[in-house]
Structure 1
């Protein structure tokens, strides 16, 4: 089950020179970051733990080392910088911590991302005035029709002129619908805007590079929301630093344009090398290449750590504020099967807590829908700290907006959510997750409160929700009026082109951000307010049974054997081929059970023969298969 990160139109090799070099050779290197989301130091402020997988201060170490080797260097960022990892704590202060770091590292270009607008234009403009490089966003128009920011800049290195174009995803305007975050500004088509810039600068520069807060493929089935569309329409581009989708791409090529993406949270650094031949004072691009550096384990830069120490100290203190005490039951049971998040396969107290918050602050809702976006959700009996709320609900911008719909539309939404799971087949002894949904940038397994229901995984996707009633037992029909409290971001996903509620327009009855404020109206902050004020610092945890999965029938003995083997570490649940995504297929015992011991022994002997030629991963798979056959027969 191989992950297909890129579309078939993208080719993953581009190494031959463009032209034969017949003059002096000069190099220009472009280093790119994206989606740092406030990770200025190797620390996760939601869990208050060190995290050396990546950060701006670690990237600074790598950039300094490369600068020593390559003087013709351009440093760019593709957006989503000033939100995330609690850096928004300082959004109303005079100094933006992320701009401090960018200026210290001498960034040349910062291209805006969609999350730059999360806190409104006042906060964004304050950061923009502090950035000492060139801030770009060529597809955003102010209300008077003038551009919000420049669309390009020309950076010269040793006589070589690089035109750098900046574009933000037009989905930003979609995400902001129903808010005033954009101040009435309009996002235009980036493919067309890039073409306009190219016609303006192509005779003034030696190479053109796009930095875009967009992934390769189109988002939500909307054309011109992916850089592949831009590359196909603009072959004059030499390279693209992409972002937004939180994936790492060393090198892809679309229509002759190199594309690289540096993942998320400062975990990777993209590098593009442009090689020019100089003849009679004219520079001609003769070769280009790209790849990414892994940042995990890189030493954090001392000067950056000194710069950020006051912010680091304040965020740690804020994270450790006690807001309540949990009594009764832990809000998340231990995983029954190692590696299968219990929070995804049974109703839990942690989802109930946030749904209670939704009902309290949006009292006109009769259904609340949300997701727990942390596989490792955990909140045990004892003190509840501010960091526990953020750890268990990681989307900083989430709010509760109440929409009016019918039971038919609610069920369509619930069926879409239930598509997170694979159907159960005879012999399956574990529930498993759909690979495409599991590998999505966004958590898409939503839970519903105010109702009771069963997800029958013996049924195909779209036909799984059964026994759907309100919590008081009243049956929900296709015409039942529903007032559903949910995140507007999710509603945008459902109503997009191709979405399960495509092109539907649902009246908005209530919005916690509109009532309580852009920051105070988030689920995180409302939960803290609820625990401190409404619950007086005391919350009673209890076992929840509002919904359940069904479908694993029979094979009780085999299920226990498999569970014990997994929990003992003798075998593992199944992962995607690249190892990034867990539990993407069920363990089916029929694959390992034989009619006789002689047949089982013959299969084991055949597997042992394969071991002699197996790769490391094949060895693991074969050894696990042998273990299962021995245990089940």
Structure 2
């Protein structure tokens, strides 16, 4: 392993900034300690062919390829927003596994699949000449890095300096210099920003690796075009096709690998579509972006819209938490059938696992390498020790992050999630507890956070902060102050809560608002506001008679569920209706809602760019203001700033009961019902429903979850249907319901 390039003086400076509560602004160039990349030239940090070993006098060999993805700043096995150990995370644990693998095969190729530098307080260190995560990858001798979309969360010079600091190859097949930019007049010719692929040679066998970054960067970062300055992103499928065809024609590789930062169903050109169309080129597709944990086989020219064949099982003979390929399902993959299918693997996120492909090769009678078989596995880190050498190298980064997370900002007055007559104030709707930490994950017992189904100060704190900041700072195109009619915000994490008397620490803002989003004010018509809200409330499955809980659409990510607030803005939601016909807006600014009127809405930049503009609800010209140029540009830091200025965060100031779900009924400022109970609460009072609800509250039964990134409840607990729940094998405990 290599020593990092991080100097102690610079590290001390960074720690001082962290303790002062500073972080890089979105427009900061990240220190400017490296020369910017030369415009309109392909940045190539490694030779076109990297020779790892040149012993050609062998007849058989096994090539091992490893990958991590979506590490999001996790150097240590630690979550700084929760200020706790995360046994399922960290480069330090991956490093231990990597040492084991390299002891068996020193020529192992190690890849990172992107979304690497952002998250988990990593932005504290953006001003260093080299980001500590890049130092970490260099220390661990990564061979290849594919930038993800979150690498573009900051001004482009941040990416420039860090890809230059990475000591091996950086690739992506679909990022090109913008041929229409003033800085890059190429006479219509597209010049790649990075090489599309990398060739490795191991004992005479050639391995081609093709990279991919989401083309949606320009949508997701539309409010911050400086983040992808002078760059363009091409169609995923066509870019990968061209890259693999070029690599094949020029190098005739013996093994072809995809390193794709892209979801299985994303954008109509997801990994499943790439796999079905290009299975005859690729042997293994490593993918990131989705944060999923799986091993699949995809058939050439198959139905890419369908679920693909799961070829993994738990490793009963080794560590049972590992995912290993089941050869009884996948069968042997070899030279005679390799063009018929391709295997796809994703190792979760944050370092949950090291994805591994072992590719067995032999020389045929003509001396050419042929594939005998491939075997895939996700080696999980839950019971793996952290690498002490890497810990020691990066200890000061960890210490600075912990100190920053525990900086006292103020105090909390009142409970930000409440339950009427119930004396407990935890987030879980059934047991009124905050998340349980079981050593495998952290989430609510039921995954229903009460603030997702009832109007609570927890989300109002975010929405009202967005409104206040815009009205204090923003002016429209004519220089007039901007007045906000409505604000939209999501409750990103089920671990979020604020309770009476607690000390408000900086980590509480990160826990409540985990992303580095900026704030946007945009005009929107009443009709499109209605469409936006209907889209948001499609997160719920349709209520069925007998349901005593709600459930969620497994195809919708939890962070795409927004709640809405505003002065004099009221609405109700009827989830017994089908999506698209659920929301009734009763008033806005205290007057009757008008579909033909133009309103101003506060949203984060991701929602504006990735959802509202593509769906045609607003245009980029409708944007009135964004926080990109503000000293405090991130919504998360706006929450911190407010608490620091006031000293006390009072729930009473953010209690604004402006919406309710019909199936629950309307509540007052204390959470007590106003008027009739909704059908869901009435179901809990029937003889059978009451018994089942009591069992759920006592943790005697468990809800049915989807094995997905959010582990959402996909089936509502229904007293008329025994298949909607199952008995807790460890009654009265949380652990029995964890899979």
- Shift in Å, 1:433: 2.4
Match of 1:428 among 547, 569, 589: 547
After superposition, residues 547-558 of structure 1 pair within 5 angstroms as 547-551=659-663, 552-553=678-679, 554-555=682-683, 556-558=685-687
- Is 1:564 the counterpart of 2:682? The answer is no
SS at match of 2:377: strand
- Residue equivalent to 2:241: 195
**1:484 corresponds to which residue?**
601
Partner of 2:146: 111
Aligned to 1:448: 564
Structure 2 unaligned spans of 5+: 1-57, 179-183, 185-189, 301-340, 419-424, 432-445, 472-481, 664-677, 732-739
The alpha carbon displacement at 1:238 in A equals 2.0
CA distance in 1, matches of 2:725, 2:553: 23
Confirm or deny: 8 A CA contact 1:154 1:163 kept in the other structure. Answer: yes
What does the per-residue CA deviation read over 1:572-600, in whole Å, with 9 as the maximum and x for residues that have no partner? 233337897243222222347xxxxxxxx
- Report the 3-state secondary structure (helix = DSSP H, G, I; strand = E; otherwise coil) of the residue aligned with 1:436: coil
Find 2:402's aligned residue among 310, 316, 337.
316
* 2: CA distance, partners of 1:224 / 1:232: 10
Q: CA deviation at 1:496?
A: 7.0
Tell me how far 1:316 sits from its aligned partner: 0.6
Q: Take 1:455 and 1:311, find their aligned partners in 2: how far apart are those partners?
A: 46
8 Å contact from structure 2 (residues 91, 351) kept in 1: yes
Aligned counterpart for 1:272 among listed residues 351, 357, 369: 357
Show the counterpart of 2:524: 405
CA contact (8 A) 1:575 1:585 kept: yes
Q: Which residue of the partner structure matches residue 185 of structure 1?
A: 231
For 1:522 and 1:175, the matched residues in 2 are separated by 15
Please say if residues 251 and 291 of structure 1, whose CA atoms lie closer than 8 Å, have aligned partners that are also in contact.
no
Judging changes above 3 Å, is the alpha-carbon distance between structure 1 residues 357 and 566 closer, same or farther for their aligned structure 2 residues? same
Provide the aligned length of Structure 1 versus Structure 2.
564
What displacement does 1:425 show?
2.5
Determine if contact 2:520/2:625 at 8 Å carries over to the other structure. yes
Q: TM-score, normalised by structure 1?
A: 0.84
Q: Return the match for 1:94 from 129, 134, 142.
A: 129
Q: How does 1:224-263 map to 2 (within 5 A)?
A: 224-226=269-271, 228-229=273-274, 232-233=277-278, 235-255=280-300, 256-263=341-348
Aligned to 1:538: 648
1:527 to 639, 642, 646: 639
> How far apart in 2 are the matches of 1:169 and 1:582?
25
How big is each residue's C-alpha offset from its partner over 1:3-35, in whole Å with a ceiling of 9 and x where there is no partner?
Answer: xxxxxxxxxxxxxxxxxxxx9321101001111
- Secondary structure of the residue that 2:720 maps to in structure 1? helix
Match of 1:385 in 2: 505
Alignment match of 2:260 (pick from 197, 212, 216): 212
Which region of structure 1 is more displaced relative to structure 2, 62-71 or 418-427? 418-427
Q: CA deviation at 1:230?
A: 5.6
Contact 2:412 2:503 in 1 (8 A): yes
* Cα separation, 2, equivalents of 1:138 and 1:582: 34
Structure 2 distance, partners of 1:276, 1:414, is: 55
1:239 is displaced (CA, Å) by 1.7
Whole-Å separation in 2 of the counterparts to 1:564 and 1:428: 14
- CA gap of 1:578–1:245, structure 2 versus 1, over 3 A, is closer
Deviation at 1:274, TM superposition (A): 1.5
Range with bigger deviation, 49-58 or 160-169: 160-169
Any residues of structure 2 matched to 1:63-78 within 5 Å, and which? 63-78=98-113
In the alignment, does 2:346 pair up with 1:346? Answer: no
Distance 1:147 1:241 in 2: 22
Residue aligning to 1:355:
463
Structure-1 residue corresponding to 2:627: 513
- The alpha-carbon deviation at position 621 of structure 1 amounts to 8.0
Q: Describe the shift of the 1:477–1:506 C-alpha distance in structure 2 as closer, same or farther (beyond 3 A).
A: farther
8 Å CA contact 1:190, 1:224 repeated in 2: yes
Q: Deviations over 1:352-395 (max 9, x none)?
A: 11112101111122111010111121111232111001001112
Aligned to 1:161: 206
The answer (yes or no) to whether the contact 2:523–2:624 under 8 Å persists in 1 is no
1:435 is paired with a residue whose SS is coil
Question: Does the aligned pair in 1 maintain the 2:71–2:116 contact within 8 Å?
Answer: yes
Q: Which runs of 5+ in 1 are unaligned?
A: 1-22, 593-606, 608-616, 625-633
Give the deviation of 1:89 after TM superposition.
1.0
- 1:175 corresponds in structure 2 to 220
8 Å Cα contact 1:249-1:291 kept in structure 2: no
Give 1:277-316 correspondences, 5 Å limit: 277-279=362-364, 281-316=367-402
| 2:541–2:551 Cα contact (<8 Å) kept | yes
- Name the structure 2 match of 1:601: none
> How far apart in 2 are the matches of 1:447 and 1:95?
38
Query: How far apart are residue 408 of structure 1 and its match?
Result: 1.1
Partner SS, residue 362 of structure 1: helix
- Quickly say closer, same or farther: Cα 1:567–1:34, change in 2 above 3 A: same
Instruction: State the alpha-carbon separation in 2 of the partners of residues 231 and 295 from structure 1.
Output: 31
1:290-322 residue CA offsets vs partner (Å, 9 max, x unmatched): 221122121111011111100000001111111
- 1:347 is displaced (CA, Å) by 1.1
Q: 1:423 to 1:164 in 2, by over 3 A?
A: closer
The secondary structure found in structure 2 opposite 1:299 is coil
Aligned residues of 1:266 and 1:295 also touching (Cα < 8 A):
yes
Question: 1:574 corresponds to which residue?
Answer: 704
Over 3 Å counting, the alpha-carbon distance change for 1:192 and 1:330 in structure 2 is: closer
**Aligned-partner Cα distance in 1 for 2:459–2:204:** 58
From the superposition, tell whether residues 511 and 56 of structure 1 become closer, same or farther in structure 2 (CA, over 3 Å): farther
